[in-house]
Structure 1
């Protein structure tokens, strides 16, 4: 059985090239009866044998009527998929325990395309690794249909082979095709908050040297003195105690030094967890916290003499994505 499945998968890979779009037609729609359809065909065969053996015209008439009904079902099932254009929209990276939402735009090449595609989409299911998923419409009268998956482990993944299947109109046949997406996505570790980096470590601009530091953390402001009030300055910085002592004197402002921003070097030694997966999750949370504080940070995922990944100090959205990718793919 495994040999047959492997040969079938190899044939599908040769027949369906990886692409984010698929147009259904005669060359890529397959139709077979399901269990109920097989029983119906078996009943037809028995009726035909009985009607022929006993020369019973009413039974033969019923047999031919049911046969024409089966032919109608086959044509309806094919026409339900024929002409559909399916496009996979861009996929966003997610965190562990989040749903991966695959958004498909389904349109029809026949007349009244919006209505036709909307109606046909109601009958589509997705089958992945023998598990059936229901496509859900994004909103009423929308041509966007959503397939929700839930990866359980971090890492970089390619989208699996998706079988798009319909049992329209009476559930007696199954018409299907295959969708091989040319797209990959990342599953980031699940962030776990921790008391990371209890002793801050300064790093130089190249991100090499680590020195223990007791410098103020981001957001702390040192009092610098008193200066005359400037129009437009926030009232929270007004020296109200001086105003209370000398009500007739001009307003004065408290002056502060610029906030101290100390670059941070994150590593497995920066988090309390000893288990690797938990430590990676805690490092993910630390990266998100530092990014939210607009604080520069670096990431070193070295383990002994083997360097898995090292990212120099930086900041910004692209730097965060680079760090999260390193954490997601860390071995």
Structure 2
């Protein structure tokens, strides 16, 4: 472990104790950090130069200007903290995405009704990541989303979110690192392929049959008393034939289980299975999923689709499928 990685791990452990994970934060003295910005350090250097010049030349106006600037910086210290500490931040659960798609962490920023509103801009970014999202608290709606770029499938614990502000004069930087206890499920990237269903007990080709329905004409049969009149074959009766009624059929839903194909890289096989799960769910098929010791029973619907995709996201292993 490098020195930088060791320092980051130690910092995260310290933050875990100081700012515990939560879905909702009201910032306070314990969770807010404040320090002069680069501009603030330059400001202090300028005040030091004014003090030296005023003392050397015994110029009271220059000394008065130095003291005034220092007093302004001291007042800004309290103003910056009070403005930032009024923030209340809440996160909503992040939705699963496919590998390569950005996940969106929805955040809501507000203040208590009995407090003054928060002013200025805040910068929101992930822990030690560049390209922050800038939010104007005076004109921006209280809801915004922070994107998280995904590359590989799996169950990812999202890092801490860094929120900072330079309000009002940029002399101080207030910031905090918040852990919203968000776990992101990243599904495998779908790879187009042919859909293949196997019976639960034995591998084979997928099957489908006809069942009674109302989609396609199937055959004529003898009329039975009480059947709907719209099913009677009136043309046959008009020609002097017997009373018969029309029967219809519709294809039976596909049933079976999805299995991993052998001889392929694991990620490729999982991507193909993800595509088949999506395709079968759109068709309303009744299917299951077998991934070695991981088995998802037969089912259908949106909840079943996400259950199968979650099983694919959690599947371990690298290399090729035996």
* Comparing 250-259 and 147-156, the one that deviates more: 250-259
Unaligned runs of 5+ in 2: 317-322
Structure 1 CA distance, aligned partners of 2:308 and 2:159? Answer: 26
- Give, in angstroms, the shift of residue 222 of structure 1: 7.3
TM (norm. structure 1) is: 0.79
Matched residues in 1 for 2:210 and 2:131: separation?
51
* 1:234-258 CA distance string (max 9 Å, x none): xxxx98xx85996999998742234
Q: Distance in 1 between matches of 2:34 and 2:63?
A: 26
Identify the residue that residue 127 of structure 2 maps to in structure 1. Answer: 128
Q: Which residue of 1 aligns with 2:257?
A: 265
CA distances 1:155-203 after superposition (whole Å, capped 9, x unpaired): 1111211121111123232101121122312011122221232xx53x2
Of 214, 224, 227, the match for 2:218: 224
Asked if 2 retains the 8 angstrom alpha-carbon contact of 1:162 and 1:180, the reply is yes
SS in 1 for 2:167: coil
- Aligned to 1:5, which of 5, 8, 13? 8
Matches within 5 A, 1:47-86: 47-86=50-89
8 Å contact 1:297–1:315 — kept in the other structure?
A: yes
Given the superposition, is the C-alpha separation of residues 323 and 168 from structure 1 closer, same or farther in structure 2, using an over 3 Å criterion? same
SS of equivalent to 2:110: strand
1:27 is aligned to 2:19: no
Alignment of 1:1-331 (within 5 A): 1-2=3-4, 3-109=6-112, 111=114, 116-117=117-118, 119=119, 122-134=121-133, 142-197=141-196, 200-201=197-198, 203=199, 207-212=200-205, 215-216=208-209, 223-226=217-220, 230=228, 243=235, 254-269=246-261, 274-302=264-292, 307=293, 309-331=294-316
CA distance in 2, matches of 1:137, 1:232: 65
- CA deviation vs aligned residue, 1:122-149 (integer Å, no higher than 9, x gap): 43433422324215589x7632222122
Q: 1:328 Cα shift? A: 0.9
Q: 1:232 to 1:222 in 2, by over 3 A?
A: closer
Unaligned runs of 5+ in 1: none
**Change over 3 Å in CA distance of 1:54–1:191 after alignment to 2:** same
CA distance in 2, matches of 1:217, 1:38: 80
CA gap 1:214/1:60 in 2 versus in 1, 3 angstroms: same
1:112, CA displacement in angstroms?
A: 5.9
Q: What is the deviation of 1:91?
A: 1.9
How far did residue 279 of structure 1 move?
2.0
Residues 21-43 of structure 1, C-alpha deviations (whole Å, 9 max, x = no match): 11112222111112221111112
Q: CA deviation at 1:52?
A: 1.6
List per-residue Cα deviations over 1:40-90 (Å, max 9, x = no partner): 111211221222222222221221122122123222211221222111122
Cα RMSD (Å) of the superposition?
3.4
